[in-house]
Amino acid sequence: MILTISVTACDIDSAIQAEAERLQRENEALQTQTTSEPVQKPESTPSPTPAPTPQPQLNTGIVIEYDMNLIMNKYDIRISVGDTILGTQEQGKKEFYELTLTEGTHTITFSEFGNDENKKTEQINVLEGEYYYFFIKTRNSGIEIEKKDILTLDEALSFVPTPAPATASPVATSPSNAPVLESITVDNNKDFANLLSIYVPRNEDVDAFVEKYMDRTIEFDGFVFISWRQIHDLPELRANNRYVVIVPADCADVDRDGDWHGPVFQMNGVSIRDFPAIEVEDKDVRVVAKITGVGYEDDYSVNAAYIILEPISVELRRVNESRTAANNEIQWDDYFTLMDELQASSNGNIIEFRTARKDDYDTIQVIVSDSWYNSTTQQKERFVESVMESIEKISDETGVSQFVEVYFYDTDNTKLAEPRGYGYRILR
């Protein structure tokens, strides 16, 4: 069977047209898909953050007037602005502290020297040409700001004639006109005197003193507490070199049992050929040395810091143990007058003084008011220590007693506090 296929020109034209239409539809679909995709924007480079404009520094200052207490709450205060310590101020003194601060709010902290828990903060808004005044008192409740004011520079200077930093040390001038710093002593440097007054200073107190006076020469009366031979490979060094510990004397009330106020001083590798006074322990000496660093006991407790010295001279110091004839004469009138003044200055806290036995002025009983029971333990400790120190001083200066013990009782004859070693035990 023969199949005959007949294709006409019309059929070919129709096929070509259909193929063309198909290709056009595919092209349109492709274009639609391409234009529907989101356009990706090129990433923009962030513009650099402009550097902050430095704030201008303003010359300003604060005047601190610290009121004097006769007996209770007698302590120095440390003044700081932010993290910067300006100095330590005694009661009854006015001081002017020059500052350079940025404009705006700054925090001033007034804290008891040696006890940062007792503090008072105050904010000042520093503006150009303004100076700031504070009148400070200490009470049983702590440090109080009685008055504050804004001053001009002339008004600030009127409080303190010489506007110098409170802790600035005097300087001497050598023949070559080059400034030479005077040796630090308890008489010319308040920071050193304050440090010696603290019973076993804290690490931060010693650190601050050493940082401020590193490489300065220091002079003080001391007591050779330890003088040990140091282990060394060379026989001559093993025989002559000493590890020496010296504690302050005189102003530090050292006793031979190792109870002292003020920091411990250490000298390493000291030759007894150069400094024979350190060969034997239990010797009173006059020390001239350079401050070279600070060290710590192994346990690094809060009271573990000591000052490292490089000795310049260590001389034996004669201590007059005997009283002069004038001192041997007991000044009874002065004694009773001073004790009456002590009682009157206590604002009613001391009712009377008694002796434990007739004519025995080595043991004094202090009868206190019931305000004792409204006081905190810390306030009681401060009170008994202050009264005890006053009675000791009166007894010694009038020749009544060199070794007086002080006990505290209420009006019902209940014992409230008694001596204990280097301090007091608060019983109630």
3-state secondary structure 178-240: CEEECCECCCCCHHHHHHHHCECCCHHHHHHHHHHHCCCEEEEEEEEEEEEECCCCCHHHHHH
Question: How many other β-carbons are positioned within 10 Å of the β-carbon of residue 260?
Answer: 21
* Confidence check: pLDDT of 34 > 70: no
Quickly tell me which residue has 């993290």 as its tokens: 83
Q: What is the mean pLDDT of residues 409-421?
A: 86
Using pLDDT thresholds of 50, 70 and 90, give the confidence band for residue 235: very low
Q: Give the per-residue pLDDT at 169.
A: 40
Tokens of 77: 């205060």
Quickly tell me which residue has 């008055």 as its tokens: 147
For residue 63, the cross-strand partners are 96, 133
Q: Give the per-residue pLDDT at 84.
A: 86
CA-wise closest residue to 247 among 172, 309, 183, 296: 309
- H helix count then E strand count, the chain: 8, 20
- Structure pTM? 0.37
Using pLDDT thresholds of 50, 70 and 90, give the confidence band for residue 11: low
* Confidence check: pLDDT of 238 > 70: no
Using pLDDT thresholds of 50, 70 and 90, give the confidence band for residue 244: confident
Q: What share of the chain is helix, strand, coil (3-state, %, to 5)?
A: 25, 35, 40
Can you tell me whether residue 334 is helix, strand or coil?
Answer: helix
Q: Give the per-residue pLDDT at 258.
A: 46
**Average pLDDT score over the chain:** 76
Q: What is the mean pLDDT of residues 74-98?
A: 85
Maximum C-alpha span of the chain: 167
Percent of the chain with pLDDT over 90: 14
Q: What is the mean pLDDT of residues 126-154?
A: 86
Can you tell me whether residue 403 is helix, strand or coil?
Answer: coil
Instruction: Tell me the per-residue pLDDT of 327-365, one tens digit each, with 9 for 90 and over.
Output: 456 788 888 889 999 998 888 899 999 887 767 788 889
Can you tell me whether residue 285 is helix, strand or coil?
Answer: strand
Q: How far apart are CA 228 and CA 15, in angstroms?
A: 120
Angle between helices 190-197 and 203-213 (to 10 degrees): 160
Percent of the chain with pLDDT over 70: 69
Using pLDDT thresholds of 50, 70 and 90, give the confidence band for residue 260: low
Using pLDDT thresholds of 50, 70 and 90, give the confidence band for residue 416: very high
Using pLDDT thresholds of 50, 70 and 90, give the confidence band for residue 240: low
Q: Give the per-residue pLDDT at 210.
A: 93
310 class by beta-carbon count within 10 Å (0-12 exposed, 13-18 middle, 19+ buried): middle
Q: How far apart are CA 21 and CA 27, in angstroms?
A: 10
Quickly tell me which residue has 């601190």 as its tokens: 64
More confident residue, 210 or 356: 210
Strand 305-316 to 265-271 pairing:
parallel
Lowest mean pLDDT among 42-56, 99-113, 289-303, 372-386: 42-56
Check if the beta carbon of residue 230 is closer than 8 Å to that of residue 269: yes
Q: Give the per-residue pLDDT at 147.
A: 80
Domains of the chain with CATH codes: 57-159 (2.60.40), 171-316 (2.40.50), 325-426 (3.30.70)
Q: Give the per-residue pLDDT at 171.
A: 42
Q: How far apart are CA 197 and CA 214, in angstroms?
A: 20
Q: What is the mean pLDDT of residues 370-394?
A: 88
Tokens of 370: 């019931």
